């Protein structure tokens, strides 16, 4: 978890990268992240004036050492972090973002992440008051945890991604075996 200390009157931007979470009651804090197939949960207790955001890569938890990349661990840490700082479970509300399908033809991890987050919150009786999940574009998220305000912007698709370039590359043709031996 990152610490959050802001200066009066100025917004205090805190970058939350994959595998991290932040909980704060700093009214100047703005939590920011960039999501593709990953999901971020923005959660808060509006009465206590405290909120937080996580950013996870995979829906399940396969007990590897990089647990924070997994939704189960990330969601538990965020909820418990909020409760430890004075939030009450019965007042928590959530907003979900991300879960895009970034590469067609591969497993849709984004959809799996989105479904996991929705099911987790339903199971924990935490209402989802807003969400922007799925699609095929990355999102830039800004979350003001004390007020609950969120700004999300779709990131322009890059026409020449590495994956697209690889798909357009012609398949190599094996050389004809004419019986010659080349030594080097």
Catalytic residues: 38
Task: Name the 3-class secondary structure at 121.
Answer: helix
The CB-based long-range contact list for 55-64 (8 Å cut-off, 24+ gap) reads 55/16, 55/17, 55/18, 55/19, 55/20, 55/21, 56/18, 56/19, 56/113, 57/18, 57/19, 57/113, 58/109, 58/113, 59/109, 59/112, 59/113, 59/115, 59/116, 59/117, 60/116
Closest CA to 146 of 20, 47, 78: 47
**Distance, CA of 83 to CA of 95 (rounded, Å):** 17
SS3 (DSSP) at 49: coil
Helix (H) or strand (E) holding 101: none
Angstrom distance (rounded) from CA 91 to CA 46 = 7
């Amino acid at each position: 978890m990152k610490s959050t200390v802001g200066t009066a009157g100025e917004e205090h931007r805190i970058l939350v990268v994959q595998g991290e979470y932040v909980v704060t009651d700093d009214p100047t804090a703005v939590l920011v992240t960039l999501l593709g197939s990953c999901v971020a949960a923005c959660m808060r207790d509006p009465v206590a004036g405290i909120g937080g955001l996580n950013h996870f890569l995979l829906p399940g938890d396969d007990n590897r050492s990089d647990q924070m990349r997994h939704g189960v661990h990330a969601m538990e840490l965020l909820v418990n972090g909020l409760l430890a700082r004075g939030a009450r479970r019965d007042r928590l509300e959530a907003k979900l973002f991300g879960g895009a399908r970034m590469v067609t033809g591969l497993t849709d991890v984004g959809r799996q992440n989105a479904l996991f987050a929705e099911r987790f919150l339903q199971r924990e009786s935490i209402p989802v008051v807003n969400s922007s999940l799925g699609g095929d574009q990355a999102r830039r998220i800004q979350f003001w945890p004390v007020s609950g305000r969120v700004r999300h912007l779709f990131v322009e698709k890059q026409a020449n991604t590495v994956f697209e370039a690889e798909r357009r590359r012609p398949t190599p043709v094996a050389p004809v075996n004419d019986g010659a031996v080349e030594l080097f």
